[in-house]
Structure 1
Amino acid sequence: MSTTWNEGAAAVALLTFDVDAETPVLAEGHRYAEHAMTMSHQAYGPDVGVPRLLDLLDDLQVPATFFVPGWVAEQRPGLAERIQDRGHEVAHHSYSHRAPTHMAPAEEREDFERALRVFADQDIEIHGHRAAMWAATWNTATLVAEHGLVYDSSLMGDDRPYALDTGAGRIVELPVHWSLDDWQQYAFLPEPAIGSVIESPRKALELWKAELDAMRHYGCLFNLTSHPFLTGRPSRALALRALIEHAQDRGDVRFARCVDVALAAGADATLATRPVQRRPADPAVYPDW
C-alpha cells in the first residue's frame, strides 16, 4: 500500500519558525528582564526577523508555520494575526516557553491552556503544538489530543509523520531533529547560556541541503526549525533563501504548512501508529547521580 501523506513528492518540506522572542531568556529567570542588551537581542526576532522572513516567503511563494508562545502573542497584539493574514499557519508553542519537563503536570496543563486562551481571544485558530525546547513530557501528547488539536511537533521517533495513540485521541506527530534546527548553528549569548556557537551560514546551508537531498532519496519529512532572532539576520536569511531555491530547483519537493501535512497524514491508511508509552527505568539499574 503506497503512502499518500506526501502527495507524490519525493520529500515534503516544512518551514517552521519558533517566534520565541524574549521567552527563552525569561524562562531562565525573570531577572533577565532587567538586561537591556539581552532583551533587545531577543526582540529582534518579532520586530525585525519576522517581517523579513514573511517577505522572503512571499517572494518565493512558499507557505510556513509559525509556532508562537502565548506570552509573545499577548505582549505583541496583532503579530499572530499578521502572520495568519499572510497565508501562514500560527501554532501553539506553550505560553511561557518554560520546558514542560521542568513542570509538574498541573503546571504544564495551566501553561498549555493559558496559551490557548490567548489565541482564542485573538481569534487565531490553532491546529498544532510544539513543546518549548521540544521538552515534551509523557503528558504532552495527551493534552494536545484532549484539546482537539490535530498534531504535535516535538518528538524524534521517525523522519516521517506518524500517529500517536494518546488514550485521549489519535494525533499526528511531525518529528523534528537537532540537525534541522538553526539554534545549534547560530545561538549565542554570554548570559544566560542559551548557546555558544556562531557558525557560518554556508556551513548550515551545506548541512541542510545534504539532509534535504538524503530525505528526497528516502521519502522523508524535512522539518526545518528556525528562530527569527537567529535566521532573521541578513546572511542567515539569504542562506534560507538559497535552501528554498535549492529545493524548488529539484522539482520533487513539496512545501506545506504543518496542519496540511498533518491532515494528509491522518488520512493515510499506511501511517504507523505508536502508543505514548513510558519505558520503565529501574532506579536500582539507572540511579540519578
Structure 2
Amino acid sequence: MLSLIDNPPPWPNGARCAVSFAYDFDAESLLHLYYPSDDVRRRVALAQTLRYGATVAIPRIAKIWNHFGIRQTVFTPGWCLEAYPDAVALLVEGGHEIGHHGWLHERVNQLSREDEEKVMLAGIRAIEKATGKPPVGYRCPSGAFSEHTLDLMVEHGIRYDASLGGYDVPYLIKRPDGRSVVELPHEATADDWNQYVNLPVSGWTMQPRAPADARAVFQADFDAAWEHGGLWTAVWHPFVSGRLARAEEQVRLIEHMQARGDVWFATCAEIAEHVAGLIARNEWTPPEETLPFYDAAVPQIVHPSR
C-alpha cells in the first residue's frame, strides 16, 4: 500500500496507530463565560444542558472506558474541577488523565500575558488539588492559542499541548531558544462540536448529524491513521457526545478500533511521554514548528473596494 505519512513514529508493541478519546469537560464554564455580567440564575435551560455533562455523561463515559479497559484524557477547566468534585474523582479513580483547560474556558488570545499566566496558574492549582499532582498537558479553550501560550507552558512545566493541528503525527512546537513541548494534533473532523451542536449562545445553530453519520466521519479518520501509522485523537465534550445515542456510537467506534487490532489506546500524557522518549533516544525525528510564525501581518498590496 502507498504510504501517505513519510515518517510515522514507532508505536509501542508494534501498534499501527495511537488513539486517545480526549474530552473537554466544560460544564457551565461556558455559561459563565458567555454571560459574565448577566444574572445567570435565569439561564436555567442552558445550565441544565451543560450540567448534563457532569451529572450523566461523565459517569456514562467512564463506564464505557472501564468496560473496554482503556484509560483516556479529560481536559477540564479549573472551575469545573471545583464545581464537580465527584465527577472528577470518578475519572481519577479510573486512572484517567486530567488535563489543563483554563480556569473558566477563557479565550487566552484575548488576554494580556499577565492575565493568561493568571489563568494558567489557577488551572494548575486546581488540578493539583483534585489529583495530587500538577498537569503535564494543556489544551487551549476554543483553540485560542496566543503568542504567549508556548512560553507559559514551558515556564510552568507543561510537557505537551493538544490544541493545534499542523501534522498527522505528534510534532514539536519550539520557541526561538529551542525549548519545546510535544504537540498532539487533531483536525476539525474529530471535533464533535462540528457534528452535533445546536447551541445558539455559542453562535452554533446547525442541523445536528445522525450519530451513525458522525461516527462514519470519526471512523474514516481513524482508519486512515491505522493504515498509515498516525495518531487519532478527538475533541469531544461530555454534554455533547455523552448523550445516549451518541454514547452508543462511541461504543461501536471503540469496538471497530479493537476489531482492527494493533491499536494503542492511551492517555495524551502517555502518548506525549512515548514521543519524548523516542526523541531522547534518537529513535525517531519528529516534525518541528518554531513559534511565532510571523513577526507581523503580511502587508496587502490591494484592498477590497466594493
- Structure 1-normalised TM-score? 0.93
- How far is 1:124 from its partner? 4.2
Residues 59 and 87, structure 2, Cα contact 8 Å, conserved in 1: no
For structure 1, the 5+ residue unaligned runs are none
Separation of aligned partners in 2, 1:18 and 1:179 = 16
1:25 maps to a residue whose letter is: L
Cα RMSD after superposing both structures: 2.1
Distance of 2:221 and 2:39 partners within structure 1: 36
The question of 1:262 aligning with 2:268 is answered no
- Contact preservation (8 Å) 1:12, 1:255: yes
Contact 2:171–2:287 under 8 Å retained in 1: yes
Q: Alpha carbons of 1:5 and 1:224: their partners in 2 closer, same or farther (altered >3 Å)?
A: same
Check whether the contact 2:8–2:169 (CA below 8 A) recurs between aligned residues.
no
Change (3 A) 1:119 1:207: same
Cα pair 1:32 1:39 within 8 Å, conserved = no
Amino acid at match of 2:21: L
Correspondent of 1:203 among 213, 223, 232: 213
The structure 2 residue matched to 1:147, chosen from 134, 148, 156, is 156
Matches within 5 A, 1:197-276: 197-268=207-278, 269=282, 270-276=285-291
Pair 1:281-2:265 in alignment:
no
Q: Is contact 2:198-2:208 (8 Å) kept?
A: yes
Structure 1 stretch displaced more, 180-189 or 273-282: 273-282
**Structure number with bigger Rg:** 2
Deviation sequence 1:161-217 (CA, Å, 0-9, x none)? 001223483210001111001110111123343443311001111111111111112
CA apart distance, 1:92: 0.4
Structure 1 position 161 matched with structure 2 position 177? no
Aligned to 2:143: 134
Whole-Å Cα distance in 2 between the matches of residues 48 and 194 of structure 1? 23
DSSP-derived class of the 1:282 partner = coil
- Per the TM alignment, residue 253 of structure 1 is displaced from its structure 2 partner at its CA by 1.6
Identity of aligned residues (%): 29
Instruction: Look up the equivalent residue of 1:278 and give its one-letter code.
Output: F
Q: What's the counterpart of residue 13 of structure 1?
A: 19
Moved over 4 A (4+): 283-289
Judge conservation of contact 2:8–2:228 (CA < 8 Å) in 1. Answer: no
1:3 aligns with 2:37: no
Determine if contact 1:24/1:98 at 8 Å carries over to the other structure. Answer: no
Q: Give the number of equivalent residue pairs.
A: 289
